[in-house]
Structure 1
Amino acid sequence: MGLMQAIGSRVRGALTVGEGGLRPQPAAGYLRGLPEAQILAIPTPILRDAKEDVRIAWGRAAARAVDALHNNGWIAGVTEQMISLMIGDGLKPNLKPDFSWAGWDEAQSAAWARRAERRFQAWASNRWACDAGGRYTLAQIQAASVRSWFGAGEAVAELPSIERPGIEWRTKLRLLPAHWLSQKSSELERLDHGVFIDGHGAPAGYLFEVKSRFGMRTELRKAARDGYGRPIIAHVFDGTAGQVRGITPFAPILKVLRDYDQLSNATLTATMIHAIFAATVESDYPTSEVLDALSPAPTATGQLEGPGGFMAFMAQKLGWHQNVDIDLGRGSGVAHLLPGEKLMLHSSKSPNANYEPFANFLLREIARCAGAMFEDLTGDFRGATYSSVRAGIAKQWPLVLYRRKHVPVPISDAALEAFLEEEIDNGYLEIPGGIEAFLAHKAAICRATWRGPAKPVADELKAAKAHEMYRLMGTMTDEQICADLGEDWEDVYQQRAYEKARREDLTIHGGVTNGGADIDQMLDPEPAAILPQAGASQRGPAPRGGSQ
């Protein structure tokens, strides 16, 4: 087959013969509905690594997002709303250590975990013990890390060791401004956007640009971990493959925020104009004469002193209206005016009918990007129903849990890891093998989940009945129910046992003369009265844990 025959066969395979001659054969493909000229006219973004996009836009996006957090009521309000859902009054750990390597059973592991949790809570709730600056509790640092993530897309914390009088712990936590991280990159030093990378892509250190006490900007390099693996810098962000820095989650709506501000400013300006110019002059005289009558008249000295002919005109009007009674408050009447005069009352025509729908459209996009419901952003529950609110909470809550796990929890995990290392090294928390065993089994010993605030519900009674039904069906445990309520199931069990013992003690001594046994039976029914839970163990105590 010759060259021309081959070309002809290709053309005949791609074209069909019709009334107009050869025409393209239909085929599947992207952008096939647009002519080539239109395809080329569409602005085409550049495909590149995510870290390059972040490096180019980080400074401007972070500055605009932080400015919105400071000056935009919608953004500031929804940020605090999301913090309240993620943090509440503070995330609390529920340790689940694995001491199978040491031969411990679940009861021994649970007892050690309870003691470690109490020691950690004492450290976390003491500002002087927890914060390097002595100002914040761990809960406040967790909330500040979420604010930093919303503004800059990342949170940076340092874990120094500081001794203080009256405090038994040296471990401290300090949250650092994200913009302190350098924007520099160097292939020679393996420095990528302020982060030193090892051969596997893991962060080995960080380069900070800080101001000295003399106001000079200096560079400071810090390692990510020390020689024993203890965290020194905790850097938290969320992103895609290849990123080494984060970017604000508000980046997609920064333009929308500007559009909303422009809409609000334009509407306010129009409203003010209509409010100021609420009266108009309608006259049969030429415009030049009317303006001349309203303009000041020059005196003999050349100075402007009051309106000229306008005063004479007003004097004539005053004489006319002294004999005419205009009263719009009477039930009926006729107003007599000078010839050519019209009484016109103007009303404001702004905002127009399209303002609120379009403003709400922009606010819905902002709420969607923030991960909140429209009602949470605006506080406007008009038209909301129980079903719509319940559906909104159900769709929003998984995102809250995801952000909680990947923003404040990693910093809290780093603090917990450093705290347990110090406690074991000092002998306050004993484990087989001491500090050497901790360094060898750190991941197994530091296993923990973090409890946050209760899951919001639209109707607490219906939610309680649903929990009761799932528990009787054996598909939901007390641990899961307590997790939904933001409580530790073991704390609940211990408190119930204590209250039961107190009721029995008061019954014995006559403090409760009737109903004591009935109360115990109602609050602590016999096991046979409750269906067995799915997967419940018949040997020993139930495993520890709390889940979110």
Structure 2
Amino acid sequence: MKRNNRKIKTKNKARMPTSSPAIQRRITNTGYSETGASHRKGSLAAWNPIRSSPQSDIDVNLSTLRARSAELYMGTPVATGAIRTSRTNVIGSGLRVSPRPKYGLLGISSAEAATWAKRTQEEFDLWASSKLCDIYRKNNFYDMQDMAYIDYLVDGDAFAVLRYQPPRPNMPYLLRLQLIEGTRVCNPGVQALIGAVVPWTVVVQNPDNGNRIVNGVEIDSDGGVVAYHICNRYPYDPTNLSQNPDWARVEAFGAATGLPNILQISHDERPEQYRGVPYLAPVIEVIKQVSRYSNAELTAAIIKAFFTLFFTESMPHADGVEPVEAVVQQLNGIPRQPLDPNSMELGPGTMNTLPMGYDVKTVDSQRSLSTFEPFTRELIKQIGAAIGQPYEVLIKSFNSSYTASRAALLQAWSEFKMRREWFARDFCQPTYEAWMAEAVFLGRIEAPGFFDDPLLHKAWCNTEWYGPVMGVLDPVKEAQAASARVLYGFSTREKESMEMTGTSWDENVERLSIEKAKLEQEDLPVYPSVQQGESAQNSDPDDDDETKTKGATI
């Protein structure tokens, strides 16, 4: 009998994996999945925000942010102080231009460039210092800077339309500026008039050319700004219901000149962001809560200041028998009258006689305010950190040491200088270049090659803008530091004059020359001995906030 050696074919069965600690380990994500991106931790499980486009995150909420920001600015001390402090230190009385033509590219000498710059500065001031540069003829260019900057902080952005009108007496230039608040730049349609924005109305299409309009800003297929749509009235204005709304389309740049027709003053923080965010947007909730807390404590303090009296009637005796005086009055036919509290008067030296059976009790409305100041101080510190203003600068309270106070000033000044550069780039410099083009075209300023070569155009238009100077805690120390910077070539006399005193070094030298001649004419010492503080060199500024000045002759 033969043995059957055929192999029986069976279906392949999956083999169980070898049990090992590495395979049995639970498979999880790595990196942030167990920290900031965890969905299992109790502190983060219910926190699931969604990141979307700038239009969804910003533009949908912009009308609410503007309204709340404006209300805080008009009625909350912390918000008002934050915006006005920024305005005062960034703009002040207005940014002043200092022309700096690049004479190396222009082929002129430094002396010729200085003469040209002085002439151009005087010519620009002819236009800028006149109220005729305003389309409404109410403010000059420096006052309009103040208004535009506040609108930029409150609404997130501000606009200025460059318009041209016939020249007037004492005004040879045609250029006029028309300031527009950001709320008037919006999408055409009825939805904008009710003051509310829904997501599907943020981006609409221009039926004439197919471009998209993002909250009043028209963009092409590449996302470049093409035009702005400006309503002829405020979208929500109950006082102007008779005027039918209409939108004007203003092209961003002139087709022939390439110069801007409208300026948008804003600062974008995200790509594809076309509208600005209010300055107070990150701290609106905290400022409102601080305001509510302050109002509650103020109300409590007012109530505590009231002097409240309660007139109480004595209870009958335990046996139910009335006092003898009351019985005698009733026997004599004198009825018992209830006490009228309004008949009693309070005043200095006043004495009142209460009827029998009445007593006076006072109410002591004690309330502790020991936690109010430290609690609000910590919240205001957070507000200041978010908007770039240290607590000392925001509250105008410099009670720390000299070093700490100066550090706060320097920290705030970094924020102010940065915003000044933004504002000058968005508003002042484009306005200056538009004015320069007209001045050269009219022949009032000579600038060879201005319209021929873009490089020469920028060389003639090169400027520096100066504004308010940083406050100083010790003028002697600041002057010594400025002298050292000039001595070692880190700065110039003109720059230090502008930043320390806001004056022109050239004008200072000319005036000093006149004063010197006057002093010599009157036989007076030209450089009298003055007292200079030495405490900065001989003592630690942290030892005493108010250092005493010792005499030294210079």
TM-score by length of 2: 0.74
Q: Does 2:465 align with 1:465? A: no
Residue 135 of structure 2 contacts residue 178 of structure 2 at CA under 8 Å; is this kept in 1? yes
Q: Give the alignment partner of residue 254 of structure 2, picking from 211, 226, 235.
A: 226
Provide closer, same or farther for how the CA distance between residues 28 and 160 of structure 1 changes in structure 2, counting only shifts above 3 A: closer
CA shift for structure 1 position 3:
6.9
Q: Letter of the aligned partner of 2:499 in structure 1?
A: D
Residue 72 of structure 2 contacts residue 288 of structure 2 at CA under 8 Å; is this kept in 1? no
Corresponding pairs, count:
463
Partner of 2:549: none
Q: Give the alignment partner of residue 243 of structure 1, picking from 262, 273, 276.
A: 273
Partner of 1:74: 78
Distance 2:311 2:415 in 1: 60
Distance 2:438 2:280 in 1: 38
Distance 2:13 2:117 in 1: 83
Q: Does 2:134 align with 1:106? A: no
Distance 1:5 1:115 in 2: 92
Provide closer, same or farther for how the CA distance between residues 314 and 90 of structure 1 changes in structure 2, counting only shifts above 3 A: closer
Secondary structure (helix, strand or coil) at the match of 1:437 reads coil
Distance 1:500 1:404 in 2: 33
Residue 142 of structure 1 contacts residue 408 of structure 1 at CA under 8 Å; is this kept in 2? no
Partner of 1:450: 465
Residue 156 of structure 2 contacts residue 276 of structure 2 at CA under 8 Å; is this kept in 1? yes
Deviation readout 1:404-450 (Å, 9 max, x if unpaired): 111254211121011000010011111223x5326664333222110
Q: Give the alignment partner of residue 22 of structure 2, picking from 12, 16, 19.
A: 12
Partner of 1:201: 223
- Stretches of structure 2 that go unaligned for 5 or more consecutive residues are 1-11, 188-201, 235-239, 317-334, 341-348, 531-554
Distance 2:138 2:297 in 1: 43
Residue 424 of structure 2 contacts residue 465 of structure 2 at CA under 8 Å; is this kept in 1? no
Distance 1:479 1:270 in 2: 55
Residue 455 of structure 1 contacts residue 486 of structure 1 at CA under 8 Å; is this kept in 2? no
Secondary structure (helix, strand or coil) at the match of 2:186 reads coil
Secondary structure (helix, strand or coil) at the match of 1:360 reads helix
Deviation readout 1:370-423 (Å, 9 max, x if unpaired): 433323433444x33322211100111110001111125421112101100001
Going by fraction, where is helix more abundant, 1 or 2?
1
CA shift for structure 1 position 473:
3.9
Partner of 2:92: 88
Provide closer, same or farther for how the CA distance between residues 444 and 40 of structure 1 changes in structure 2, counting only shifts above 3 A: same
Distance 1:389 1:361 in 2: 17
Matches within 5 A, 1:301-312: 312=337
CA shift for structure 1 position 312:
4.8
Residue 95 of structure 1 contacts residue 448 of structure 1 at CA under 8 Å; is this kept in 2? yes
Residue 206 of structure 1 contacts residue 224 of structure 1 at CA under 8 Å; is this kept in 2? yes
Partner of 2:325: none
Q: Give the alignment partner of residue 134 of structure 1, picking from 134, 137, 141.
A: 137
CA shift for structure 1 position 367:
3.0
Secondary structure (helix, strand or coil) at the match of 1:160 reads strand
Provide closer, same or farther for how the CA distance between residues 432 and 395 of structure 1 changes in structure 2, counting only shifts above 3 A: same
Distance 2:274 2:19 in 1: 53
Partner of 1:527: none
Distance 2:229 2:72 in 1: 27
Q: Letter of the aligned partner of 1:244 in structure 2?
A: Y
Distance 2:217 2:507 in 1: 47
Distance 2:446 2:152 in 1: 37
Q: Give the alignment partner of residue 347 of structure 1, picking from 364, 377, 384.
A: 364
Partner of 1:398: 414
Residue 88 of structure 1 contacts residue 453 of structure 1 at CA under 8 Å; is this kept in 2? yes
Q: Does 2:181 align with 1:177? A: yes
Partner of 2:294: 264
Distance 1:108 1:242 in 2: 44
Larger RCO: Structure 1 or Structure 2 (Cα < 8 Å, ≥ 6 residues apart)?
1
CA shift for structure 1 position 263:
1.4
Provide closer, same or farther for how the CA distance between residues 425 and 25 of structure 1 changes in structure 2, counting only shifts above 3 A: closer
Provide closer, same or farther for how the CA distance between residues 39 and 6 of structure 1 changes in structure 2, counting only shifts above 3 A: farther
Distance 2:519 2:314 in 1: 97
Distance 1:249 1:401 in 2: 16
CA shift for structure 1 position 102:
4.1
Q: Does 2:514 align with 1:496? A: no
Deviation readout 1:81-140 (Å, 9 max, x if unpaired): 221111122101112223545433333333222211111112111112x21111111111
Distance 2:131 2:14 in 1: 84
Distance 1:455 1:403 in 2: 14
- Stretches of structure 1 that go unaligned for 5 or more consecutive residues are 16-22, 287-309, 316-327, 330-336, 523-548
Partner of 1:156: 159
CA shift for structure 1 position 496:
1.6
Q: Letter of the aligned partner of 1:412 in structure 2?
A: C
Secondary structure (helix, strand or coil) at the match of 2:204 reads coil
Distance 1:503 1:92 in 2: 28
Distance 1:223 1:7 in 2: 72
Distance 1:116 1:460 in 2: 33
Partner of 2:196: none
Q: Does 2:408 align with 1:373? A: no
Residue 256 of structure 1 contacts residue 366 of structure 1 at CA under 8 Å; is this kept in 2? yes
Residue 447 of structure 2 contacts residue 460 of structure 2 at CA under 8 Å; is this kept in 1? no
Provide closer, same or farther for how the CA distance between residues 423 and 140 of structure 1 changes in structure 2, counting only shifts above 3 A: same
Distance 1:270 1:405 in 2: 45
Distance 1:181 1:143 in 2: 20
Deviation readout 1:443-502 (Å, 9 max, x if unpaired): 3322211001112111111111222233334434323422421546xx423542454366
Matches within 5 A, 1:49-68: 49-68=53-72
Q: Letter of the aligned partner of 2:374 in structure 1?
A: P
Distance 2:382 2:484 in 1: 37
